[in-house]
């Protein structure tokens, strides 16, 4: 996900010190989630944001996104292009959001082999993290398509992306995919048995699942269109993801022509749900425009996602929740900022998300909200 390019779109249109990873992590304590040391951004809670009891700003510059919890709810992995940390494109970090103060320096970097990286996620045991990287194409950041004011907003689908596994010191342990073409956007089932990811190995951007070791790859989606950003439900039996579905002859031609160039236009997407094997796939939103970055509430009955469906020019992106049957749409965030990539802690007590509220120069930071029903 190229967050920097997404932020250029918004006003115009419509994955510190870390524990030793050579052994298994210690068992969770009775109080699995430590107390937050400083709620430093309560003043940035917008009117109407009744679900945010407190707010903590976690990052302080650049574009920071896709922050995902470990299984114990004590650490986050995320991607950042912050130049203050020496980055010229997205790189993967991990840290403790309850105690680490990133104003004092960069957290542990996990992506050390160059290229552009994206979509990190903890594996069972919390001592390993997977993420996608273009490192096979060289150490330099790959060139991205430029956004022309008033022009189409496009994402690059780099064919060099493959999925790798690193420990929490940045030592690469394994490469999970090696098929020619895009393999990225991977997350792990809470059952600890399967990974879901997006791949172009069969000519379209579809969802696939595989074992934790990369074996037994199975295709999950087959309809034409971009399927990505998938997450397993808390019990591991279902999937939620974002999808585009070009229908008209013109839409199909535009989608397939762009795909041949390694590009996708993600301005019309809805939230889909299916069983973990792909059966029973259906949209639970029909809002129009871009509805994306969906993830599960720990109760397994609700989805939280970002949308710009009420806007005329495509900005801002706002957080919403919806029941898994498509009922009960509720607006969560109420600022005029970019709010996206929401992810609940495993116990549902905290929500981490990306926002440019209170930022400067369009920087997008991670925020931690104490959640209240």
Q: The domain that contains 332 carries what CATH number?
A: 2.120.10.30
How far apart are the C-alpha atoms of 146 and 5, rounded to whole Å?
Answer: 8
Identify whether 16 is part of a domain. no
The two tokens of residue 204 are: 């379209």
Identify whether 334 is part of a domain. yes
What was the pLDDT predicted at 149?
Answer: 57
Identify whether 354 is part of a domain. yes
Torsion of CA 119, 161, 198, 164, to 10 degrees: -60
What b/e readout covers 238-261, taking b as 16+ CB neighbours within 10 angstroms? bbbbbbbbbeeeebeeebeebbee
For the cut 80, the answer to whether the pLDDT of residue 317 exceeds it is yes
Identify whether 336 is part of a domain. yes
Identify whether 63 is part of a domain. yes
Identify whether 269 is part of a domain. yes
What was the pLDDT predicted at 315?
Answer: 86
What was the pLDDT predicted at 17?
Answer: 29
Nearest-5° angle of CA 337, CA 342, CA 348? 130
Q: Is the peptide bond before 96 cis (omega within 30 degrees of 0)?
A: no
Q: Give 119-168 pLDDT, tens digit per residue.
A: 999 999 999 999 999 999 999 999 998 666 567 889 999 999 999 999 99
For the cut 50, the answer to whether the pLDDT of residue 8 exceeds it is no
| Domain around 297 | 39-143+152-371
Identify whether 75 is part of a domain. yes
How far apart are the C-alpha atoms of 133 and 128, rounded to whole Å?
Answer: 16
Identify whether 2 is part of a domain. no
Q: Work out how many domains the chain is built from and give that number.
A: 1
Calculate Rg over the CA atoms of the chain.
19
> Which of these, 133, 242, 124, lies nearest to 194 by C-alpha position?
124
Q: Give 14-46 pLDDT, tens digit per residue.
A: 233 232 322 333 334 434 455 677 899 999 999
Q: Give 283-303 pLDDT, tens digit per residue.
A: 999 999 999 999 999 999 999
Q: Give 195-206 pLDDT, tens digit per residue.
A: 999 999 999 999
Residues 6+ apart with CB under 8 A from 211: 193, 194, 195
What was the pLDDT predicted at 313?
Answer: 83
What was the pLDDT predicted at 359?
Answer: 82
């Amino acid at each position: 996900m190229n967050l920097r390019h997404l932020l250029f779109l918004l006003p115009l249109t419509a994955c510190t010190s870390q524990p030793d990873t050579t052994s298994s992590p210690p068992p969770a304590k009775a109080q699995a989630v430590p107390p937050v040391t400083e709620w430093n951004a309560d003043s940035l809670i917008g009117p109407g944001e009744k679900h945010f009891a407190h707010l903590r700003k976690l990052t302080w510059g650049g574009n920071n996104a896709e922050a995902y919890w470990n299984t114990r709810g004590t650490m986050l992995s995320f991607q950042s292009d912050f130049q203050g940390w020496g980055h010229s494109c997205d790189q993967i970090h991990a840290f403790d959001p309850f105690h680490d103060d990133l104003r004092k320096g960069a957290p542990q970097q996990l992506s050390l082999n160059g290229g552009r990286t994206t979509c990190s996620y903890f594996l069972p045991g919390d001592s390993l993290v997977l993420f996608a990287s273009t490192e096979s194409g060289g150490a330099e950041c790959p060139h991205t398509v430029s956004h022309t004011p008033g022009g189409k907003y496009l994402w690059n689908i780099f064919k060099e992306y493959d999925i790798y596994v690193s420990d929490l010191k940045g030592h690469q342990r394994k490469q999970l995919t090696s098929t020619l073409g895009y393999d990225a956007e991977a997350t792990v089932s809470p059952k600890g048995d399967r990974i879901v990811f997006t791949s172009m190995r069969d000519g379209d951007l579809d969802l696939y699942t595989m074992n934790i070791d990369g074996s037994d790859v199975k295709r999950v989606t087959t309809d034409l269109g971009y399927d990505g950003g998938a997450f397993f439900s808390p019990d591991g039996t279902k999937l939620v993801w974002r999808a585009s579905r070009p229908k008209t002859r013109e839409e199909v031609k535009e989608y397939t022509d762009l795909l041949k160039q390694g590009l996708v236009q993600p301005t019309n997407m809805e939230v889909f749900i299916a069983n973990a094997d792909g059966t029973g796939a259906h949209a639970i939103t029909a809002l129009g425009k871009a509805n994306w970055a969906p993830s599960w509430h720990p109760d397994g009955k609700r989805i939280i996602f970002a949308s710009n469906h009420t806007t005329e020019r495509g900005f801002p992106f706002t957080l919403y929740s919806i029941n898994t049957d498509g009922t009960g749409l509720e607006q969560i965030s109420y600022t005029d900022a970019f709010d996206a990539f929401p992810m609940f802690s495993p116990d549902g007590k905290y929500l981490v998300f990306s926002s440019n509220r209170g930022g400067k120069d369009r920087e997008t930071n991670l925020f931690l909200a104490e959640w209240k029903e």
